[in-house]
Copies of this chain bind each other. A is one copy, B any other.
Amino acid sequence: MDDDLVFKALADPTRRLLLDALFVQGGRSLGDLEQVVAQRTEMTRFGVAKHLRLLEQADLVVTCKQGREKLHYLNPVPIRLIHDRWIDKYTQHHVTALTDLKRQLEESP
């Protein structure tokens, strides 16, 4: 597995938007995802397809052909590996406590 492809794939906001959409619900087609992107930015179908291909090459998205449609699913494994690369098992609880605190502070204004 190539680290570089994963990080490069995550570097673009449109691709992160696609991952967000697939996180909420998997099994979406290109046309479906195109509409999701179109709600935020102006982009043609070709642009979205190109982004999806990069996500697929990075193994962040897995696909499944069904007739003439291609369904996309989020694969969380590479993201977990990023986490494990820089967060030690021993400091993990510590960091979790920090992020939970941060979330609480942001929710209550």
Contacts and interface: CB of A to CB of B under 8 A. Distances in A.
Interface of A: 3-4, 7-8, 10-11, 13, 16, 19-20, 23, 74, 76-77, 79-88, 91, 95-96, 98-99, 102
B10 A7 contact: yes
Contacts of A20: 85-86
What is the total number of copies of this protein in its complex?
2
The binding surface of chain A is classed by DSSP as: helix
Contacts of A8: 11
Contacts of A82: 10, 79, 82-83
A80 B83 contact: yes
Contacts of A88: 23
A86 B79 contact: yes
Contacts of A86: 19-20, 23, 74, 76, 79
Contacts of A91: 76
A80 to B, nearest CB: 5
